[in-house]
Amino acid sequence: MTGPPIQDVHLAQEPRMTTDVPGPESRSLLERQREIDSSAVAYPRSVPIALDEARGATVRDVDGNVYLDFFAGIGVLNVGHSNPYVVEGVNEQTERLVHTIDFPTETRIEFIEKLNEIAPGDLADNNRVIFGGPSGSDAIEGSIKLAKYNTGGHGLISFKGAYHGSTSGALSLTSGRKYKKDYTPLLSDVVHVPYPYPLRSDDPDEATKDILSGVRETLEDPYGGLTNPAGIWVEPIQGEGGVVEPPEQFLPGLKELAEANDIPLIVDEIQSGFGRTGKWFASEWSGVTPDAMPMAKGIGGIGLPLGALMYREELDTWGPGGHIGTFRGNVPAMRGGIRAIEYIQAHDLLSHATDLGEHIRGRLREAAEDSPFVAEVRGRGLFIGAEFVDDDGAPDSDAVEWIQQYCYGRGVLVWNAGREKNVLRLLPPLVMTEEQADNGLDVITDGIREHARDAGE
């Protein structure tokens, strides 16, 4: 067996709280951070925790409290914190060679071959992979350049509810105003069209047809508003947008439109990929093969920064330096990615993610029966969302914040998502055990029910 079984990679199977939170040591570090760190720091404002150690699906703070982690660094730690099999490979690599730009190494070549092994559809044996900067945003930037270079176009199509990153080009594709309002102007020729949102539609299938018709008009109508299209960028499941999964005909419809107009379909698998949904890449659920596929987050194995873009071999038309980045030779991260793939394969974590995800959604739906404020529980594999509304059916971010704080105080880390931050988002590591999931869900579902009682008083 490759590495220890998933039962053995954690600090505990349940939360272990020894102080009120934040504890005194955490408060001290949080205060020191406020004094010297950037005002852009965000996460400790919502969950004030100072970290000391983490293993698998568990995190220990500097006060000794052990939390169950249902967030995994925004879906980065798919094989868990400090997975020993991955750490071993990374340490061995670090002792030999770390920074290589894009000179060939055994590790780099083996990682590209391993990515080819898990490539979706007919991208297998028909792809090239490029590394640039160490982030998902950079992978998106690379995809923009690739599309423009191959088509000669400059118009970009993205979707409402989309999040593709925070660098200039990626931010242009991102639709959230709060991310971009203070940093305009960005790329000028970007059109955002609606993304199917089944919960908010009386007839999701008909709404999807209308959306696809709108994309067609944008591409083909002489007055469609987009000049010289270069490509379509889409998340197979919107992450920051609220774990929104479109009807099954949506991605195939986009692929058909892209092919008809001779432009690439770029499927952003940064958050939804690397096994998160129970398949290596979420686009596989719809049977659609991307023309280009930005990746990051989990591909660094244990949280090492690494961004990559896989694309069809026929698009490999740019020359040396077509997309560059100083840290495109982060070989410890590549070794981490190899080891993570091997660990997922050896322990059948794709099936585990599928089964455990169904179990988690089932328990959330049971809790929803006791709360009129849960509008929907949805997702694929361990990419899970529960959307909350108020008495009038309007999005309710306060409910999610209330439940998040309830869970934090009892040793369970969860987060939010959604256009109005009214979606409880769960992204646990693929190594989370069913026992851990149930222990965490005992807290989460109690929080949902307690919120319903509190809101009903």
If you write DSSP's letter for every residue of 217-282 in order, what string do you get? Answer: HHHH-TTSS-SSEEEEEE-SSBTTTTSBPPPTTHHHHHHHHHHHTT--EEE--TTTTTTTTSSSSG
Q: Flag whether pLDDT at 252 surpasses 80.
A: yes
- What does the pLDDT average to over 393-413? 98
Q: Flag whether pLDDT at 103 surpasses 80.
A: yes
DSSP 288: P
> Positive or negative, the Cα torsion across 185, 191, 197, 200?
positive
- What does the pLDDT average to over 413-437? 98
Would you place residue 193 in the very low, low, confident or very high pLDDT band (cuts 50, 70, 90)? very high
The answer to whether 26 and 67 have CB atoms below 8 angstroms apart is: no
- What does the pLDDT average to over 428-444? 98
**CA angle 280–318–193, rounded 5-degree value:** 55
Q: Flag whether pLDDT at 431 surpasses 70.
A: yes
DSSP 203: S
How many Å apart are CA 146 and CA 142, to the nearest integer?
Answer: 6
- Residue 233 phi/psi, 5-degree rounding, is -110, 130
Q: Flag whether pLDDT at 456 surpasses 80.
A: no
Contacts of residue 71, Cβ cutoff 8 Å, sequence gap at least 6: 413, 414, 415, 425, 426, 427, 428
Identify the H or E element spanning 47.
none
pLDDT in tens, 38-94: 999 999 999 999 999 999 999 999 999 999 999 999 999 999 999 999 999 999 999
Would you place residue 457 in the very low, low, confident or very high pLDDT band (cuts 50, 70, 90)? low
Architecture in CATH for domain 85-346? 3-Layer(aba) Sandwich (3.40)
pLDDT score for 268: 98
Give the pTM.
Answer: 0.97
Would you place residue 133 in the very low, low, confident or very high pLDDT band (cuts 50, 70, 90)? confident
pLDDT score for 332: 98
- Average of per-residue pLDDT values in the chain: 97
CATH superfamily of the domain spanning 6-77+348-456 = Aspartate Aminotransferase, domain 1 (3.90.1150.10)
pLDDT in tens, 78-99: 999 999 999 999 999 999 999 9
pLDDT score for 437: 98
Q: Does a cis peptide bond (omega within 30 degrees of 0) precede residue 4?
A: no
- Domain-by-domain residue ranges, the chain? 6-77+348-456, 85-346
- Residue 58 phi/psi, 5-degree rounding, is -130, 150
Identify the H or E element spanning 423.
strand 423-426
pLDDT score for 227: 86
How many Å apart are CA 122 and CA 120, to the nearest integer?
Answer: 6
Contacts of residue 305, Cβ cutoff 8 Å, sequence gap at least 6: 134, 135, 296, 327, 330, 333
pLDDT score for 367: 98
Per the model's pLDDT, the better-predicted residue between 161 and 454 turns out to be 161
